A = this chain, B = another copy of it.
Amino acid sequence: MVTINEVAESAGVSKSTVSRYIAKNGYVGKESALKIESAIKALNFVPNLSARSLKTKRSTIVGLLLPDITNPFFPMLAKGVEEYLQERGYQVLFSNIGDDGRLAEESLKTLVQSNAAGIISTFDFTEKYPDLNIPVVIVDRVGHHSEFGVFADNKAGGRLAAEKILEAGAKHIAVVSGPINAQSVNNRFKSSVAVLEESSAHFRTYYSKDYNFSVVREEAARVLDDYLQVDSIIAPSDIHAIAFIREILGRGLSIPEDIQVIGYDDILMSSFIYPALSTIHQPAYEMGSEAAKMIVELASNRSVHQRQLKLPVYYVERETLRKLGVKHACQEAEKFTPQRGKRPLSAEAQRV
C-alpha cells in the first residue's frame, strides 16, 4: 500500500502539505496541489478516509433520511441528492425512517459516529436533539422550527390545483387531505379549500390516513359512495389520484367526462398511465439537489444566504381534467351533471 510519505517524496513537498491537501484543511499552494495530484495519480494512492475523518472531524458521508423509498415520490428526490453529492466527492448514507421519523434514532447514532458531514431529512428531529453537532437540512416537509429547509411552494400548489379544476368546470369537488400531519401537506389542503370557498362550487373535505394502496383505494371508494354528486377530485398525491382513477374506471365511469381528477407530485408513473394524470409538478429532483448543495455549503463552513429555499411548482396538463376555457366551464359542467344518474351504486354505498 502506498503511504502518504511516498506521495510527499514523489511530489517533492512535505508530508504535512500532502495531509492538508487530502483533508482539504488549510492552505496548499496551487503548484504544490498540482504536484500532489499527479503524484497521487502516478502512485495510485488511496487516502484512508477513516484516518482522514479522525483528523478533520468530518467525514464525506451525508445522511439521507426519507420516510420510505418505495413511496414513488422519493426516488427522484434521492437521485437529486445522490448525483449532486457524488460529483463533489460526498457519499450518501441512506435510511428509511418512516413518515413519523420513528426509525431516525438508530441512523442518527450512526451518523454521529461516522462524523457525518451533514444530514438531509424529511423529518425534523432537530428540536429533539438540540446538541447534534452536524448540519441538518430538512427537505420537503419543512416546519416552522426548521432552521435550514428546501421545500416546494405548497400554498401555490394547493391554490393551483383548485383553480385548474374550477377552470375545467368542477361543480362538486371532493378535496382530500394528505395522510401525514406535516405543514407542507396541510398548506396545500388549506390553500385548495380557500380557493373553493371563494367560488360558487360545492365541495366536501376528506382525510386520507395512509399512502398504502389498498387503504387509499378503499378510501377512494368511500368518497365516491359518500358524495354522490361529485364530479371532481383534488387528490393529495398522485398515488391517491391513481387510486381514484382506478376506482372511477372500475365503476364504468369515464375520466374526465364523468369525474375529473387532479393529482399532486408528478411522479414518473403519472405520465405512463391511461388516462395520463393531470397534476401539480413538484420539483423532487431539484429539492434533492438544492438540499445537497446547502449541506455542502454548511459542511464547508460557508454561509448560507437563503436558509429556507422555496421552489416553484407548476401545473402539468394531461388527460384527467376537461379541456375547457374558463368561460365555457359552467355551461359544460351543467351538461356533464345529468350523466351522473348512470353511476352504478351498491346498496351499501347508498346507505352512507
- Distance (whole angstroms) from the CB of A203 to the closest CB of chain B: 25
Give the chain B neighbours of A50 by CB distance below 8 A: 49-51, 53-54, 59, 114-115
Residue of B nearest to A245 (CB): B274
Residue of B nearest to A57 (CB): B50
Do A246 and B54 contact each other (CB < 8 Å), given the known contacts A49-B113, A269-B72?
A: no
Select A109's contact among B46, B69, B93, B110, beta carbons within 8 Å: B46
Interface of A is mostly: helix
Cβ–Cβ contact A272 & B242, under 8 A: yes
Tell yes or no: A271 within 8 A of B by CB.
Answer: yes
Cα-based distance from A107 to B51 in the complex (angstroms): 19
Residue of B nearest to A113 (CB): B49
- Distance (whole angstroms) from the CB of A226 to the closest CB of chain B: 21
Cα-based distance from A66 to B299 in the complex (angstroms): 27
Chain A residue total in the interface (Cβ 8 A): 54
Would you list which residues of chain A between 66 and 86 have a CB under 8 Å from chain B?
A: 68-70, 72, 74-76, 78-79, 82-83, 86
Tell yes or no: A198 within 8 A of B by CB.
Answer: no
- Distance (whole angstroms) from the CB of A279 to the closest CB of chain B: 15
Cα-based distance from A110 to B53 in the complex (angstroms): 13
Give the chain B neighbours of A114 by CB distance below 8 A: 49-50, 61, 91
**Using an 8 Å CB-CB cutoff, how does the interface string of A76-119 with B read, 1 for contact, 0 for none?**
10110011001000011111100000010011011011110000
Select A273's contact among B48, B91, B106, B273, beta carbons within 8 Å: B273
Cβ–Cβ contact A213 & B113, under 8 A: no
Cβ–Cβ contact B76 & A70, under 8 A: yes
Cβ–Cβ contact A69 & B69, under 8 A: yes
Cβ–Cβ contact A213 & B271, under 8 A: yes
Do A79 and B68 contact each other (CB < 8 Å), given the known contacts A50-B50, A114-B50, A213-B268?
A: yes
Cβ–Cβ contact B273 & A246, under 8 A: yes
Cα-based distance from A46 to B112 in the complex (angstroms): 8
Do A113 and B250 contact each other (CB < 8 Å), given the known contacts A70-B76, A92-B95?
A: no
**Using an 8 Å CB-CB cutoff, how does the interface string of A26-61 with B read, 1 for contact, 0 for none?**
000000000000000000001111110110000111
- Distance (whole angstroms) from the CB of A246 to the closest CB of chain B: 4
Q: Could you show 11 A-B contacts with beta carbons less than 8 Å apart?
A: A49-B114, A50-B50, A69-B78, A78-B94, A86-B103, A86-B107, A91-B93, A92-B95, A243-B272, A245-B274, A246-B274
Besides A70-B75, A93-B93, A246-B272, 18 new A-B residue pairs in contact (Cβ under 8 A), listed by A number: A46-B109, A48-B54, A50-B53, A51-B54, A64-B94, A72-B75, A72-B268, A72-B269, A74-B75, A78-B94, A83-B96, A86-B106, A91-B95, A91-B114, A92-B93, A213-B272, A242-B269, A246-B273
